Every structure is written in C-alpha cells, then in structure tokens.
Structure 1
Amino acid sequence: MYLTRFRVNTARREARQLLGSPHRMHGAVNMSFPQSPSSDGAGPRLLWRVDHNSRAECFLFLVSPSRPDLTHLVEQAGWPAADQPGWQTYEYGGFLSALSEGGTWAFRLTANPVHNVRLKEGQPTKRTAHRTPRHQAQWLLSRQKEAGFEVVEKPVERRLLEHGDDHELIVRDHRDLQFGKAMNDGGRRQNVSLTRATYDGRLRVTDAVALRRTLTHGLGKAKAYGCGLMTLAPVR
C-alpha cells in the first residue's frame, strides 16, 4: 500500500475545474495507474481526498495498492517547471502494520454521511444525507466500533454544551455537490448529487485489524468521489 500527497495549484484554471467536479477528479486519479485499481470491495482499493487547508493551500491525498504516477496532474494542475516532482509517495504498509490497540491518533476523514429512510409505509427506502453537524457526527460515532476505533471522549470540564459535545470531534466543511457523469453508452449524462463532510478529531485504536481495513478500504459511500479516506497523524 502507498500513501501519496499532491499539492494542487489553485491558481490554474484546469486545477479549479478538477476541484469543482468529483467526477473529473475521479478520472484524473484513475489515470495515475496503468490499470485502474479494483473497486469490487474484495481487496484494498484506491481512495482519494481533497483537503482545502486555506484558499491557496490545497492537497490531494491518495491511498492505493500500487505506486501512482501523477505526472499528468503536475502538468494539468501543478507546477510543471518546478524543481521538485510535485508529489510525494510513501510506503504505507509499515505504518499500518505498526498500529496497535490502545494507540491514540489525530485523524481526518471526508465522508458521505447518509442513511436509508422510508418516507411512506410500503415504499422502498431511499438514501438520504444527514444535514446537521450533530447527525453527521452521530453517523461516524455509530460506525466507530466496527471500524476498529473509538473517538476519544472529552473530560466533563471541557465540554461546552450539555449534550452533543462529548467527543474530541469537529464536523466541518459541509458541501452539497452536484455534477454530471457520462453514462456507459457514451450519449446520455447522469446528474449526481452527494453530500460531503470532513471530520477532524482524536481516536483510540480498539481493533487494529479492523482499523487497517478502514484505512485501506474506506468508510461509507461515494468512495469514487473523494469520500471514505481516513488518515492518521501523531497527536500533538
């Protein structure tokens, strides 16, 4: 497994077009490999995420089973004439193997927080996005045990609210996205709508095997469109 970071040159028109369309970015990410990585869920898959740290600082992160070549992205959305190659790729397997129960990490996750609801009795369920930070946070908390971690709880004296402020967790950068997707027949286009939210927080490893799977298979839906990738960093 490999973890790759690419800085996007937001001053370039092509870069802004990629950032504005998850479908275009999905295609550009897939072109980083001679053969598109599997997405059937049987093994580790290609995951990606865009981090908007500031207006001028934007990074694309990839987790992939094989090493990518982002030369085309440098030419389209980077700094082609710079001395540095424009991206850094790190071997990820050693880090994953070293994860152990009880370890505490800072984490970031961009996800598609949805649930299935039945609007009328007898009708099939419909996938619906969670809209409020409270429900989006609960979406993650309800999946933490199966995903191999627990979000660290705040000491009582640090909680600012009586309810809903129990964990070291911030939900931010809520975005409702709409974009077109070409159909396989080559003629029609399908409109796609999805909700993305970014989670920053602190977690404790409860099941290292399950957490490794979360980090390499993703969490939730819409993985092809920049959702599901969780990354860890040492706690400062």
Structure 2
Amino acid sequence: MGLLIHAVTRLRERPESRKYWVVAFSGSVMIALSALVLVNARWLQNEWLYSLENTLDYLFVYLFATFLVFLGLAGSSRVISPSLEKAFIVILGTGLTAEETISLMLKYRLDKAIQFYENQKAKNVQPATFLVTGGKSPGNSLSEAEVMAAYLTDRGIPEDQIIQENQSINTHQNFLYSQRLLGNGENTVFVTSSYHVLRGNVYARQLGIEAEGIGAKSPLYYLPYALIREYLALFLIYRKVHFVALPLFLALMHVLMH
C-alpha cells in the first residue's frame, strides 16, 4: 500500500514517468496477491492457490536476499575515502523544500562536499571546483543549482569556484548534463546520500564517467523509504539479470522443497 500511495502521489506530479507507473503496478499486484492468499486460507482452500502461495514465499526469499546484498554495498560507501586529488566535486540534487530552500537531505550532501573541500585545503591539495546540479521543479522560480550555489557562498566558498548545471531533473541527467565539463571524470568525486552512491556509480559508468562517490548521512525518518526506493530502482536497472536469475531460483526452490 505504501508503494501504491507513493506512486500515485508522484504520478500526479509526473504522469509521464514510467518508473512510477511500474511502482504503482507492483504495489497493486502485491495487494491483490496478498488478498488472494488470505481469501484462499479462509474460504477457498484451493491447492493451486496454495502452490502460488509457496511461489510467493520463495519470491520473498529472493527479494530479501538481494535486498541484503544491496544494503551491504550501499553501506560500504560510508567507509570508502576517495583520494583528495580531485578537480571537481559534483553535488547531486535531491529537491528543494516547498519554500524553495535547502532540504535537510540536501544540506547533508552540501556539508559533506564542503568537508571534502576543506580537507583538500588542509592537506595543501589544489581545491576542487564545485559543480552543483539540479533544475527547476514545476512551480519553482529558482533552480536547485542556484539555491545550492547560494548555500555554498554563504559558507565561504568563492563564487568563481562554483559551476551550476541547472537543467537536470533526475540523477541520470545530473551526470548527463555535467559530462561536457567532466569529460571522463577521472579527477572527479560526486557527493550524494550514502544509500544513493551505488545508483550514482551505475549512471556514471553508463556514461563513461569514472567519478568516485562519497556518501553523506540521511535523516533517520527518511532512510527506510529511501532504501526501498533505491533497491527497486536498481532492481529495474538490472531487470534483465533478474529476468534470468529469478525463474531459475524459483525452479530450484520448488525442486528442493518438494
């Protein structure tokens, strides 16, 4: 139900989004299957439906196991420390508040980037140029990049060391529209939330950008939803792999358990 409610809410803002249509469909199917299992246990007691229930159990095992793998990979971003020898610090956007101010999530990312910059100066390394990314949301008068740049200058970052990319509306576009400045990204570090570094790496590699990711902390209240969303997003990105692996896993479980 949480997936369905979230998808419907976002589809009102972005009805063209295939991702949220998939999420809405997935949530609806999960609700329907759960209802069917309960109805069968209470009234129908159909053997074919009991077999379907077993399949759903095995599907849950597969999803849970792959989710644990995702958690391990996502958590590793908090302990990885890229080299300070970087020419660019790319800060990925995550949206502004309704008042067009920095959200707590975005503040954590900006502060993490500033910390990397200060570490460069402390180690007598040539300070990097900041590249802030993010366009205007519907109804906003300011782009996310503009608000991010203002936050950085308020904290002492020189204006001539900040570049704005103010066209993108998602992570893939953050990298796509920044690529003309980054080239292959070998001297680049990107900053995002820790749970998001893994997907950021995927998009960067798809575009041939060899940037390293740094994970900033996230508000605890937001983390459960964020982790599930990231897992689903990566599941869809690697859907061809799961299309092969999942049927094989289900077949193996049926053989082993019967």
- Check whether TM > 0.5: no
| Structure whose CA Rg is larger | 2
The structure where strand makes up a greater share of residues is: 1
TM-score (normalizing by structure 2) = 0.28
Give the TM-score normalised by structure 1: 0.30
Comparing both structures, which one devotes a greater share of its residues to helix?
A: 2
